[in-house]
Homo-oligomer: A and B are copies of this chain.
Amino acid sequence: IMPDEMARRLILERGDGGARHFEDAVPDPSSPVIGILGTGDFSRSLARRLVASGYQVVVGSRTPTRFVALFPEEAEVTTQLEAANKADLIFVAVYPEHHSTLMDLKQTLAGKTLVDVSNSLSINHKGPSNAELLADYFPGSFVVKGFNTVSAWTLQMGARDGGRQVFLCSNSQTAKNLVKSICHRMGFIPVDMGLLSSSLEIENLPLYLFPSWRLPVLCMLILFIFFYLYNFIRDVLYPFITEHKSAFYKMPIEVVNVTLPSVALVMLALVYLPGLLAAFLQLWSGTKYNRFPNWLDRWLLSRKQLGLCSFLCAVLHAVYSLCLPLRKSAQFKLSNMAYKQVKKGMEDSWVDEEVWRMELYLSVGIMALGLLSLLAVTSLPSVAGTINWREFSFIQSTLGYCALFMATAHTLFYGWNRAFVLARYHFYMPPTFVLVLVLPFVVLLGRAALCLPCVAGRLRKIRRGWERNRHIRFMLPAEDCRNGVENVSNV
A101-B475, A347-B339, A478-B40 as given contacts; A169 in contact with B249, CB under 8 Å: no
Query: Nearest Cβ distance between residue A307 and chain B, in whole angstroms?
Result: 12
Q: Is A107 engaged at the interface, CB distance under 8 Å to the other chain?
A: no
Instruction: List the B residue with the shortest CB-CB distance to A370.
Output: B316
**What range describes how many residues of A lie at the interface?**
35 or more
Q: Are A211 and B362 in contact (CB under 8 A)?
A: no
- List residues 318-371 of chain A with CB under 8 A from any CB of chain B: 318-329, 331-332, 334-339, 341-342, 346-352, 354-360, 362-363, 366, 369-370
- List residues 162-195 of chain A with CB under 8 A from any CB of chain B: 162-163, 165, 167, 169, 171, 173-174, 176-177, 187, 189-195
Counting chain B CB atoms within 10 Å of each CB, the highest count among A17, A53, A325 belongs to A325
CA distance in complex: A352, B332 (Å): 10
Q: Are A335 and B332 in contact (CB under 8 A)?
A: no
Q: Are B479 and A201 in contact (CB under 8 A)?
A: no
Q: Is A103 engaged at the interface, CB distance under 8 Å to the other chain?
A: no
Q: Is A219 engaged at the interface, CB distance under 8 Å to the other chain?
A: no
**24 interchain pairs, CB-CB under 8 A:** A5-B387, A9-B208, A9-B212, A12-B211, A15-B298, A26-B173, A28-B173, A43-B479, A53-B192, A96-B478, A98-B478, A151-B486, A162-B162, A249-B356, A252-B360, A320-B366, A327-B355, A328-B358, A329-B358, A332-B348, A332-B351, A336-B348, A338-B342, A339-B342
Residues of chain B within 8 A (CB-CB) of A369 are 319
Q: Are B192 and A475 in contact (CB under 8 A)?
A: no
Q: Are A17 and B477 in contact (CB under 8 A)?
A: no
Query: Nearest Cβ distance between residue A438 and chain B, in whole angstroms?
Result: 27
Q: Are B93 and A478 in contact (CB under 8 A)?
A: yes
Residues of chain B within 8 A (CB-CB) of A38 are 477-479
CA distance in complex: A30, B174 (Å): 9
CA distance in complex: A349, B330 (Å): 11
Q: Is A465 engaged at the interface, CB distance under 8 Å to the other chain?
A: yes
* Residue interface mask A11-33, B partner, CB < 8 A = 1: 11111010001111111101100
Q: Are B187 and A17 in contact (CB under 8 A)?
A: no
Query: Nearest Cβ distance between residue A406 and chain B, in whole angstroms?
Result: 13
Q: Are B339 and A479 in contact (CB under 8 A)?
A: no
- List residues 379-419 of chain A with CB under 8 A from any CB of chain B: 379-392, 394
CA distance in complex: A1, B387 (Å): 8
- List residues 75-105 of chain A with CB under 8 A from any CB of chain B: 92-96, 98, 101
Query: Nearest Cβ distance between residue A5 and chain B, in whole angstroms?
Result: 4
Other contacts beyond A207-B388, A316-B370, A336-B349: 4, CB < 8 A: A4-B381, A11-B301, A41-B480, A63-B472
Residues of chain B within 8 A (CB-CB) of A252 are 359-360, 362-363
CA distance in complex: A479, B149 (Å): 11
3 smallest beta-carbon distances between A and B, as pairs: A40-B477, A162-B163, A42-B479
A8-B301, A298-B12, A334-B331 as given contacts; A94 in contact with B192, CB under 8 Å: no
Q: Are A337 and B335 in contact (CB under 8 A)?
A: yes
Q: Are B43 and A478 in contact (CB under 8 A)?
A: yes
A93-B479, A323-B322, A479-B117 as given contacts; A338 in contact with B334, CB under 8 Å: yes
CA distance in complex: A187, B435 (Å): 49
Q: Is A279 engaged at the interface, CB distance under 8 Å to the other chain?
A: no
Q: Is A297 engaged at the interface, CB distance under 8 Å to the other chain?
A: yes
CA distance in complex: A360, B342 (Å): 32
A54-B177, A118-B478, A355-B249 as given contacts; A363 in contact with B256, CB under 8 Å: yes
